[in-house]
Amino acid sequence: MSSTGGTEALAQVNTLATHTALTAWNSASDFLIIIILLSFFFLFAWYVGRGPLVAILLSYYGAYAIYTQFPYLSYLPSAPPLTALLAHVGVYTGIGFAFYVVLRRVVVSDFLSVGNIGLIILSFLGAAFPIALAYHVFDITTVYQFTPAIDMLFAPDKYFFWWFISPAIGLFFIAR
C-alpha cells in the first residue's frame, strides 16, 4: 500500500467519522431542548423530591388559568419580540411560582410513590408542557425557530390539548 493510498483511506475514514458525528449531533440537537428540560426535571425530582415535581406540574395549570385571565397583559411590552416574549413568560413564571409555593405547602405530599421510569415519563411530560405553551400561548416563533422535527410534534393546534393535559394524565396513572 502506497502512502497516497493510506492517506486517501485515512481521509475517507475521517470524512465518514465527521459525517456520522454531524448526523448524530443534528439528530440530537433537534431534541436538545427536550433533553435539557427532561434532565432538569428529573434531577430536580431526584434531589429535591417527587412531591416538589408534582407541585411544579400542577402549578402549570393554575398559572395557565390565571395567565389567560390576567387583566394587565395589555400593559406588557409588545415590541421588540424578544422583550415581549420575556415579559409574558415572566408573568406566567411568576404566577406559576406562586402556585408552586402554595401547592408545595398545602397539597403535595412527600409520601407519594413514583418509580424511576415514572419519574422519567413525568419529567418528559413536564418538559413538553412549556414547549407546547411556547408554541401556542407565547408565540416563540417570532424569536426562535425550532427544527421541523419539533415543529411536527408541537406546532399543530390539534396537539396542544394533548400536550396540555399530558402531565395531569401522567400524574393520574403514575403517582401513587
Burial class (CB in 10 A: 0-12, 13-18, 19+), 41: buried
Q: How many CB atoms lie within 10 A of CB 175?
A: 18
Distance CA 28, CA 22 (A): 10
**What pLDDT score does 175 carry?**
82
Output the pTM of the full model: 0.77
- The confidence band for 49, taking pLDDT boundaries of 50, 70 and 90, is confident
**What pLDDT score does 66 carry?**
95
One-character DSSP codes across 87-156 = HHHHHHHHHHHHHHHHHHHHT--TT----HHHHHHHHHHHHHHHHHHHHHTS-GGGT----HHHHHHHSS
Place of cell 502512502: 3
Distance CA 80, CA 89 (A): 14
Contacts of residue 120, defined as CB under 8 A and 6 or more positions apart, other chains included, come to 38, 42
- The confidence band for 5, taking pLDDT boundaries of 50, 70 and 90, is low
In tens, the pLDDT along 89-146 reads: 999 999 999 999 998 887 766 667 788 999 999 999 999 999 999 999 998 888 888 8
In tens, the pLDDT along 132-172 reads: 999 999 988 888 888 888 889 999 999 999 999 999 999 99
- Taking a C-beta distance cutoff of 8 angstroms, is the pair 114, 55 a contact? no
Distance CA 108, CA 171 (A): 12
**What pLDDT score does 6 carry?**
65
State how far the alpha carbon of 97 is from the alpha carbons of 25, 120, 156, 165, 167, in Å.
34, 22, 28, 19, 17
